[in-house]
Amino acid sequence: MHAPGRTAGARVSRAPRERGRDDGRDADGFRRDAKKSLGQNFLHERGVIEKILLAVDPKPGDRIVEIGPGQGALTLPMLDRHGALTAIEFDRDLLEPLAAAAQAHGALALLHADVLTVDFSALAAAGEGKLRLVGNLPYYLSSPILFHALDHAPAIGDMHFMLQKEVVERMAAGPGSKVYGRLSVMLQAECTVTPLFKVAPGAFRPAPKVDSAVVRLVPRPPGAAGIADRARFATVVRAAFGQRRKTLRNALSGLLDAGAIEAAGLRPDARAEQVPVEGFVRLANLPVEAARTGD
């Protein structure tokens, strides 16, 4: 990480920092040091913020929920455009200054919570329409947040996330790619995954050591992937990629035998990275009895 500088987001129109003030906070009340442990890399590049807003393109009535609003780099311009949104922030130190900053921009419902404990289905049920999730995500928590969102996919209309570029590549990879894996299969089974654009480290303060990218995820209608049992599907995919270099026959031993793998239209000597998403759906949908006996 680079040394933390002024960690302001889109606050250009706000009061300049007071000279001589040194309580560790800037004139807007935000701490000047970003918390590495919370994945705080605050966006400051206007062009990138604008591109994200264009990609999200909020429409009247949309229920936008931002994950990790930080100092408001996306929140405030989104409020300017959309008037109201909900944001979930874990860092208590950010809440007061962010709420104060938001006042001049729109109605911000700020939830102090770990996003992984937020029940998006209940949040959606409390109003009308699906949620649109947006966030420059804390990178240390990317996969857990993606899997948490998947658990609530029927409540979510779409998601626009900034993530580490390599993670976006894994999310969108197809069979045969070196980075095709559990994340690719689990996400693509339930969502369309569209990488949108890359973002260089200099767009953030402090600058992360990695490149970033913005991705759009749109959950498919419930049942579209044909998965009979989500837990079973997750178990089969995890086992298949848990031992990446092994053949399906070996990686899935204990769950499915060679006959069952053939019954799903796959070769037992294939490797997980060669199997398309539908192949995993067929494997997971085999009746458990047939899976054991190969009938």
Counting contacts by CB under 6 A, is residue 186 touching ligand SAM?
A: no
Minimum Å gap between C-beta 186 and ligand SAM is 20
Residue 213 to residue 52: CA distance in whole angstroms: 11
Please tell me the distance from the alpha carbon of residue 231 to that of residue 234, in angstroms, as a whole number: 5
Should residue 180 be labelled a site residue for ligand SAM when binding is judged by CB under 6 A? no
Q: Among 57-65, 99-107, 110-118, 251-259, which window interacts with ligand SAM (CB under 6 A)?
A: 110-118
Q: How far is 180 from 174, CA to CA, in rounded Å? A: 6
Give the residue among 173, 184, 281 at the shortest CA–CA distance from 228: 281
The residue count of the chain comes to 295
Q: Are 63 and 130 in contact (CB under 8 A)?
A: yes
**Shortest distance (Å) from residue 5 CB to ligand SAM:** 13
Two structure tokens written together for 242: 């848990």
> Which 135-164 positions form the footprint of ligand SAM (CB under 6 A)?
136, 138, 141
Q: Which is nearer to ligand SAM, 62 or 93 (CB)?
A: 93
- The yes or no reply on residue 206 touching ligand SAM (CB under 6 A) is no
In this complex, which beta carbon is closest to ligand SAM, that of residue 58 or of residue 268? 58
Residue 58, classified by CB atoms within 10 Å of its CB into exposed (0-12), middle (13-18) or buried (19+), is: middle
Q: Assess 76 for contact with ligand SAM (CB under 6 A).
A: no
Contact status: 39 vs ligand SAM (CB under 6 A): yes
User: Which 8-state DSSP code applies to residue 211?
Assistant: -
Question: Which CB sits closer to ligand SAM, 88 or 277?
Answer: 88
Say if CB 171 and CB 193 are below 8 A apart: yes
89 lies in the binding site for ligand SAM (CB under 6 A): yes
Residues contributing to the site for ligand SAM (CB under 6 A): 9, 38-43, 67-71, 73-74, 88-91, 94, 114-116, 136, 138, 141
